Amino acid sequence: MTLSINDTHDASLRSWLDSANDVASDFPIQNLPLGRFRGDNTQPWRLGVAIGDKIVDLRMAGLVRSHDVDSVLSADLPARQALRRDLSAGLREGSADRARFGAAMVAQSDVELGLPCDVRDYTDFYTSVHHATTIGKQFRPDTPLLPNYKWVPIGYHGRASSIQPSGVSFRRPNGQLKAPDADTPRLAPCARLDYELELGMIVGRGNASGEPVRITQAEDHVFGLALFNDWSARDIQGWEYQPLGPFLSKNFASTLSPWIVTMEALAPFRAPFTRPKDDPRPLPYLDSPDNRMHGAIDIELEVWLQTAKMRADDHAGERLSCSNYKDAYWTVAQLVAHHTVNGCNLASGDLFGSGTLSGPMPEQGGSLMELSQGGKRALTFANGESRTWLQDGDSIILRAYCQRNGFRRIGFGECRGTVMPAPALV
């Protein structure tokens, strides 16, 4: 694990681009997240970095040779750090390269933002013990956590092809549903549609098949983090998930935010990784002094709901919950170490979902399954509307930011998706 706090993190550092100095901006010069953009759908994707309300085209600025995102993701740590230093130097006040960087800029509002990379493969984990406990209590009140939870990072292989960029709508899924008192299932649109507040971890440098990644080198294989919403059909899930786990309840849509906040940008916001004293200590391959000292990351997370009526009324929406990534039970490094301990080979652009990130308090649930107590408690909003599950026309917006005394606040932008009516039944 390589953490380097240097002059690129200096809170007093200012950019010659005024919008980057706005205290409300998610993208000050201390952030510099990576993403892809294009003018319209007839053009190829270009590689860029967000700064204030603009994007620096990396190729136009002379920082990369092509718009191949894998060449940046898979670069070794010194090359990644050098790119960050060059960007910071060119964007800060007094830079001699202001004209070159200015000529390579476009407004974020003038372009389409896409997936930040081509997602090669996707694994979804279950890293929040608070989420696992709350959901477990709904099914197993006496034993909410299964015996393996505190020993092994639980995950399943998800569907990469249905991961879509922020801002794209998706259709409510159809699937088999079975009421508890019914003799047979039926095919119908999902009636218990839910969101899941997650972070996505983007793999940078892969590993060879058969060669596990040690926990002490694990974070060198992760380029950065983005916001991730793993939409879930709870009624389809309840009928299909045994014995092999999620299938149609999860593979219809997931939403990924457009900007990857790099591990280098997150260096000032690391925190000790701790567990309750009575919990088991991780097995040796999941443990290291560095991971215990600063394996956690202090990221504030928020979920917002904007209904169709709110949108028509120019209402930005209501916040449903907030939580923090430092409360996760497993760290980024532990996920990489466990995923590869059997010899599994990761590749540049692979995505890990953190699983739903809930806090310790009931109001910090990262899904409606928790906040509505499985549909038993409606959430009522200021405009009189209420929800137990998502309705057609609802938008879910995920937001996140890091802040710490002595450092500049940085953000992740937003991850937005809107529910559309289900397709006609076959």
Instruction: Tell me how many degrees the CA angle 309-396-370 measures, rounded to the nearest 5.
Output: 110
Amino acid letter at 50?
Answer: A
Distance CA 109, CA 111 (A): 6
Structure tokens at 25: 């901006």
CA 361 – CA 199 distance, rounded (Å):
19
Place of tokens 């510099």: 32
Per the DSSP assignment, residues forming a β-bridge with 123 are 157, 352
Q: Say if CB 323 and CB 197 are below 8 A apart.
A: yes
Task: Point out the catalytic residue in the list 131, 221, 338, 339.
Answer: 131
Beta-carbon-side half-sphere exposure of residue 171 (alpha carbons within 13 Å): 9
The CA distance from 248 to 240, in Å, is 8
Give the position of tokens 């560095």: 290
In angstroms, the Cα distances linking 158 to 119, 246, 305 are 11, 8, 25
Among this protein's residues, is 131 annotated catalytic? yes
d(CA 279, CA 145): 13
Q: Tell the residue number behind the tokens 């599950």, with chain if given.
A: 389
Task: Show contacts of 98-105: CB within 8 Å, 24+ apart.
Answer: 98/16, 100/61, 100/62, 101/56, 101/61, 103/60, 104/56, 104/57, 104/58, 104/60, 104/61, 105/17, 105/51, 105/54, 105/55, 105/56, 105/57
Calculated CA dihedral for residues 171, 357, 302, 81, nearest 10 degrees: -100
DSSP state of 389: S
Residues 6+ apart with CB under 8 A from 277: none
Retrieve residue 107's tokens.
Answer: 């407004």
| ∠ CA 378-381-382, rounded to 5° | 150
Cβ 256 vs Cβ 166: under 8 Å: yes
Q: Which amino acid is at 320?
A: L
Separation between Cα atoms, residue 313 and residue 315, nearest integer Å: 5
What 8-state DSSP symbol labels residue 219?
A: G
**Residues annotated as catalytic (active site), given as ranges:** 131
